[in-house]
């Protein structure tokens, strides 16, 4: 079997369209304009055998994402799921709120995250204490730089790569980020050794990220904003993409330049903000992305490595 990655959601926080946004692109997708496709918030499911899956991030859209993904739905018992464990790469609300929607589980949720993320989820955004009143949570600590497995997901190994990004705004770690607040994941097929690198929140290239990218056949990388001042120009935020912990695609040091160094690999952008002009299939930026040989992830997409 090959490593299977099912893209459950490909948008950044808020999805596309965002519920309260009347920007040109959100208006276009609501109107059903050609070239604009609705997207849910970023999450993937990964499997080594196509039967049991690790859910990577539990977005607020997780229920709809499971309903849209037959292989994750019950079918082996009265109450069951193909989701064996959940790995969260940070404590951002758009990556962990979906844990609350899984509270009907008949067994404790198997949660894999770093100690820094676990601290936030126990106290500052207390998802885990809330779940203890429903199904319970079993925590498995993830340590940056160490390989680990997800119980019940055969044929797969994971390695956490500490990323320079930003903890969530609610976290006291926001102004003093440390390794473990944000991670990317190397996903490795145990049999073939083939790898994917998943990093939907990437604020800076460093030696660990460069090594992870060099080692992987597939790069599934942060595509939040096309330009650094995108949100500022549109008047929706005072922050730049880099201020929020995301490399933009364009400009010096952007992900377009970064990914050009890996022209022989499959390169896919995920976690696309509703303001990113890449969401217009017919726009100049999308044509530029295609010319560079980089793809844009879409909800429901199956990627095999």
Query: pLDDT at position 122, please?
Result: 97
Question: Tell me: the pLDDT tens digits for 125-154?
Answer: 999 999 999 999 999 999 999 999 999 999
Nearest to 225 by CA among 253, 248, 251: 248
Question: What is the Cα–Cα distance from 42 to 298, expressed in whole angstroms?
Answer: 10
Please name the helix (run of DSSP H) or strand (run of DSSP E) that holds residue 93, with its range, or none: helix 93-96
Nearest to 144 by CA among 113, 188, 110, 187: 113
CA atoms within 13 A on the CB side of 276: 32
Reduced to 3 states, what is the DSSP secondary structure of residue 89?
A: coil
- Name the percent of the chain lying above pLDDT 90: 92
Long-range contacts of 238-242 (CB under 8 A, 24+ apart): 242/203
How many C-beta atoms lie closer than 10 Å to residue 216's C-beta?
21
Question: What is the Cα–Cα distance from 254 to 248, expressed in whole angstroms?
Answer: 5
Name residue, tokens 């990964």: 46
How many C-beta atoms lie closer than 10 Å to residue 212's C-beta?
21
Strand partners, 187: 158, 196
What string of DSSP letters covers 234-268?
A: HTS-S--TGGGT---SSSTTSHHHHHHTTTTSEEE
pLDDT category at 176 given cuts 50, 70, 90 is confident
Query: pLDDT at position 305, please?
Result: 95
Domains of the chain: 4-304 (3.60.15.10)
As a whole number, mean pLDDT of residues 69-92 equals: 92
Query: pLDDT at position 159, please?
Result: 98
Question: What is the Cα–Cα distance from 267 to 295, expressed in whole angstroms?
Answer: 6
The full length of the chain comes to: 305
How many C-beta atoms lie closer than 10 Å to residue 47's C-beta?
24
118-136 b/e (C-beta count within 10 Å ≥ 16 → b) = bbbbeeebebbeebeeeee
As a whole number, mean pLDDT of residues 65-75 equals: 93
pLDDT category at 257 given cuts 50, 70, 90 is very high
**Main-chain dihedrals φ then ψ at residue 230, nearest 5 degrees:** -55, -50
């Amino acid at each position: 079997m090959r490593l299977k990655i099912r893209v459950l959601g490909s948008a950044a926080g808020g999805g596309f369209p965002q519920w309260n946004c009347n920007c040109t692109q959100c208006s276009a997708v609501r109107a059903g304009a050609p070239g604009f496709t609705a997207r849910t918030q970023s999450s993937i499911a990964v499997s080594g055998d196509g039967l049991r899956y690790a859910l990577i991030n539990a977005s607020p859209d997780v229920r709809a994402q499971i309903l849209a993904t037959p292989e994750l739905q019950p079918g082996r018992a009265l109450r069951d799921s193909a989701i064996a464990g959940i790995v969260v790469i940070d404590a951002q609300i758009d990556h962990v709120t979906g844990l609350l929607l899984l509270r009907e589980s008949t067994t404790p949720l198997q949660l894999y995250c770093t100690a820094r993320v676990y601290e936030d989820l126990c106290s500052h955004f207390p998802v885990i204490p809330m779940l203890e009143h429903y199904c319970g949570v079993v925590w498995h600590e993830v340590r940056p730089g160490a390989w680990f497995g997800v119980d019940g997901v055969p044929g797969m190994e994971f390695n956490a790569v500490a990323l320079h990004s930003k903890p969530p705004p609610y976290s006291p770690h926001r102004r003093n980020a440390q390794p473990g607040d944000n991670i990317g994941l190397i996903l490795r097929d145990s049999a073939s050794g083939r790898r994917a690198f998943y990093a939907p929140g990437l604020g800076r290239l460093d030696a660990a990220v460069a090594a992870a990218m060099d080692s992987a056949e597939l790069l599934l990388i942060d595509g939040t904003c096309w330009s650094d001042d995108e949100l500022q120009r549109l008047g929706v935020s005072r922050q730049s993409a880099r201020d929020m912990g995301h490399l933009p695609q364009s400009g010096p040091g952007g992900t377009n330049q970064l990914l050009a160094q890996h022209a022989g690999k499959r390169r896919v952008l995920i976690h696309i903000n509703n303001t990113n002009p890449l969401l217009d299939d017919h726009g100049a930026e999308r044509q530029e992305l295609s010319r560079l040989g980089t793809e844009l992830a879409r909800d429901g997409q199956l990627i095999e490595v």
